[in-house]
Amino acid sequence: MKKYIDQGKKDTRSGFGAGMTELGRSNPKVVALCADLVGSLKIEQFIEENPERFFQVGIAEANMMGIAAGLTIGGYIPFTGTFANFSTGRVYDQIRQSIAYSDKNVKICASHAGLTLGEDGATHQILEDIGMMKMLPGMTVINTCDFNQTKAATLAIAEHHGPVYLRFGRPKVPNFTPTDPKFEIGKGVLLNEGSDVTIVATGHLVWEALVAAEALENQGISAEVINIHTIKPLDEKMLLASIRKTGCVVTAEEHNFLGGLGESVARTLSQHHPAPQELVATQDTFGESGTADQLMEKYGLNNKAIEKAVLQVLKRKA
């Protein structure tokens, strides 16, 4: 098994901030809008260097989406920023009508997604956002795994025409992908080759999948690990090739099992290659207040849960 090295824990939201700083210097069409959360989105340097290209909208997220849609008409590339709950649930009508339906080139950038928002609790811990956004026609949905990949994704979506939902998080997590990785929208990343089971992970669960794969190797189980950073469009070709080889799959995500990555994989399998699948995800529940580690443990979103799911799915192989 290939060994991945944690280069030092960093928060993925800081990867977004680093990407925005670089875009501010390289692309004069990029503008930023924020709903009173500049510090949380880590875009202070972008604002300092490009004050004329920043719009502080305040706690008026619906207005922010409408303004962003309007800015595209003038040829600008607006990046909106707030917590994931406020980037989606609070403004779904505006996104649907003004951005997705109108095919506006808006980049909806969402921090503090999932349970790892932590102590702010269930009202802020959205676990439905991937499902909401992937159901919008024409919407690209990206969920990155570490600092480096988030920075790369931020740069890549500026070059992509059309609405994008970019999801990232609050906690510091292992930073293990290459410093300047090639980011291809819609293309999965094969992290480890295996023959017994495919583990398909996204976001914060990618590192946990690698940890689980190493533990499984010590038990004589060969796990193939795929990082699906783009949930829509889904890299069905890579997924099917892997699952045809291994015969079963575990999906892992910091999201409700309804509507997330796991469901997208299940649909793909039902259409092209039925195979046993186990889903590591929240089980149709809201979160609660606690530290990120406490919550991921309680709701079964870590390497131990992935390892357990692998042992279960292996029993179901024909």
Exactly one of 44, 48, 49, 61 is catalytic; name it: 61
- Burial code (b: 16+ CB inside 10 Å, e: under 16) for 114-140 equals bbbbbeeeeebbbbbbbbbbbebeebb
C-alpha 192/C-alpha 58 separation (Å) is 44
C-alpha 142/C-alpha 234 separation (Å) is 10
Q: What percent helix, strand, coil does the chain show, rounded to 5?
A: 45, 20, 35
Count of residues making up the chain: 318
Q: Is 61 a catalytic residue?
A: yes
User: Which pair of tokens denotes residue 22?
Assistant: 């670089």
Residues classed as catalytic: 61
